[in-house]
Amino acid sequence: MLLALDVGNTNTVLGLYRLDVPVRAPGASSASQSEGERELVAHWRVTTHRTQTSDEYGVLFVNLFNMHGLAVDQVHHIIISSVVPPVESTLRRVCEKYFHLQPIFVEPGIKTGMPVLVDNPAELGADRLVNAIAAYERYGGPCIVVDFGTATTFDVISAKGEYLGGAISPGLGISADALFARAARLGRVDIKRPQKVIGTNTVTHLQSGLYYGYIGLVDGILERMIKEIGTDVRVISTGGLARQISADSRYIAQIDDMLTLDGLRILFERNRAARPRARAH
C-alpha cells in the first residue's frame, strides 16, 4: 500500500491507498466514487507539530494504524508533500525507523506531467502543485482550485493542463485571530454561518462579518480570475474549511476533501519505481 502525507502549517493529513485495484469491467455500472476514492483505505488529520520528535510522530502513526486494524509493514511506498521544512527531516526519520522505507518528497526534480508557467517554479508550494495535478486529472481544464487552509490559495490550470498561476490570501482562521488579537473588547466567537447577514448582537455581528466577508473575498478573486481566463471554468474547493465556506460561493461547483491526497497518489504513480527499504535500526 501507499502512504501519502500532506504536511500543512496547521494540520497533517495522511491517506493510505491500496494500489493496483482491479479496473471496472467494460459496461459495468458506474461506481458512486472515483477510482482514487475507491482505493483509499483510511485517512487521518492530525496537528502539525514543528517540535515533535520522530519517535513522537512514529508512535502517533503506529497508533492510528492500529486503531484501524492495520500494520505499518503493509506500507510499501510513502510520498510526502510539505510546506513546513522543519518537519521534513523528522518525517524522513519516521519513514526510515518505523516503516523501513525511503519516502518520495514532492520537490524540484519530481516528474509532474504538468508545465508550470510561473516566473520561478521552485517557489510553488508542493501542496498547490499536487492540488493542480489532481484537479486537472479528475475534472479537466480549465479549472481553479481553492484550498482553504491556514492560507487560502487559488490555483489556475489551463485547458491544456498547464499551471498558469494563482493567488494567496490569509485564511479565515488567521484573519479572525488577527481581529480578536487587536480589538480588546471583541471576544472570540465560533466562526459559522449566521442566520441573517444583519446581526443583532456582537456575536452575530462578528460571525456575519467574518463569514460573509470571507465569501466576498473568495468570490471577488474568483470572479476576476474567471474573467481573465475568458472561458467556462470549473472551480473546485478543498481543505479543512472548504465545506464551511463553499456552500455560499457563487462560483465553487465542487468540494473535494481528498483532492490533495489523491494528487499525491497520482504523482506517485507517475514516479513509480522500486524504492529501497531503509535498513532497520
**For the chain, domain boundaries:** 2-110, 121-263
- CATH superfamily of the 121-263 domain: ATPase, nucleotide binding domain (3.30.420.40)
Annotated binding-site residue numbers for ATP: 6-13, 150
Assign domain 2-110 one CATH number from 3.40.50.10210, 3.40.50.300, 3.40.630.10, 3.30.420.40.
3.30.420.40
Q: Report the sign of the C-alpha dihedral through residues 264, 265, 269, 275, in that order.
A: positive
pLDDT at residue 240, rounded to an integer: 84
Locate the DSSP E strands across 28-139.
40-47, 77-82, 104-105
What is the arithmetic mean of pLDDT over 93-117? Answer: 93
Annotated binding-site residue numbers: 6-13, 125-128, 147, 150, 202
Annotated binding-site residue numbers for substrate: 125-128, 202
Give pLDDT tens digits for 115-151: 999 999 988 999 999 999 999 999 998 999 999 988 9
Closest CA to 157 of 130, 175, 179: 130
**CA-to-CA distance for 264 and 259, rounded, in angstroms?**
9
2-110 and 121-263 in the same fold: yes
pLDDT at residue 258, rounded to an integer: 92
pLDDT category, 35, cuts 50, 70, 90?
very low
127, 155, 256, 262: which is the annotated catalytic residue? 127
Give me the residue label for grid cell 465569501.
215
**CA-to-CA distance for 245 and 81, rounded, in angstroms?**
25
- 127 a catalytic residue: yes
